[in-house]
Chains A and B, each alone.
Chain A
Amino acid sequence: MKNNTTILTVITYAVLLSAVSILLNDLREFDLQQFKEFQNWAKTANKSENWFTSKNAIKWSYYAISTGLFFWRAYLIYGFTYFLSILSEVDKGHYFSDNNIKYFRKIGNIFIAYTINVLVLRFLLALIGKSSFNFFTEYKAEFTLLIPCALAFYLLAEIFKHAKETKEENDLTI
């Protein structure tokens, strides 16, 4: 068991590091390619123009939403760090601990929050860019697979809760 958890911990660390490096690279590319353009535009933007009806709103919203998308990706990576906490608990021999139940629920919450928020942000992006947004097309995207995953984690949390109660019952049977 000890060896298995060590292997899983190493794999999780590798996945997390690659996810973080991809995110950082995307952030860098976003800055280099688009932020300079945005800065130039901001210098020349007509400041007397009404904010809500102008291009200003569209540009600012675009950057705000893009930042939001990066935030949610970082939040998803943070969610994956709970796997390390679970593995650490398992390594200590605390299989059915309260912490594990809490971590499973948290992962479920993070997956659901990520999917819903990214869907909303994509919808807003499509709205700003005046492009078409089809909910079902978006819903078919890979990231929505996180919803069944989240449900599976909620289920795991419930199973672990019952397992903990059964273990307690068993421990107090003399």
Chain B
Amino acid sequence: MPIIVNLDVMLAKRKMKSKDLAETIGITTANLSILKSGKARAIRFSTLEAICKALECQPSDILEYVKE
């Protein structure tokens, strides 16, 4: 898929653990793992909003379009 999820990068920048982020935004670590690995088919605006709020970033910091 040409959409890359840079959640790992943002987590490293904010020095935050996946487990903590999952707890903060209210999703399971399994679902966060699906999102990080790029296996997710879609992301809800509410989840994106919660991630941006927790990591103090913009959606573009997490999602990136790369031409195939």
Contact = CB atoms under 8 A, between A and B. Distances in A.
B31 to A, nearest CB: 5
A141 interface: no
Interface in A149-174: 168-169, 172-174
B43 interface: yes
Contacts of B41: 168-169, 172-173
A10 to B, nearest CB: 37
Interface residues of B, number: 12
Contacts of A174: 27, 31-32, 34-35, 40, 42-44, 47
Nearest to A172: B41
Contacts of B42: 169, 172-174
Contacts of B44: 173-174
Contacts of B39: 172
Contacts of B47: 174
A172 B43 CA distance: 8
Contacts of B35: 174
Contacts of B43: 173-174
A140 to B, nearest CB: 50
Interface in A41-89: none
A169 to B, nearest CB: 6
Interface of A: 168-169, 172-174
Given A172-B40, A173-B40, A174-B43, 16 more contacts: A168-B41, A169-B41, A169-B42, A172-B34, A172-B39, A172-B41, A172-B42, A173-B41, A173-B42, A173-B43, A174-B27, A174-B32, A174-B34, A174-B35, A174-B40, A174-B47
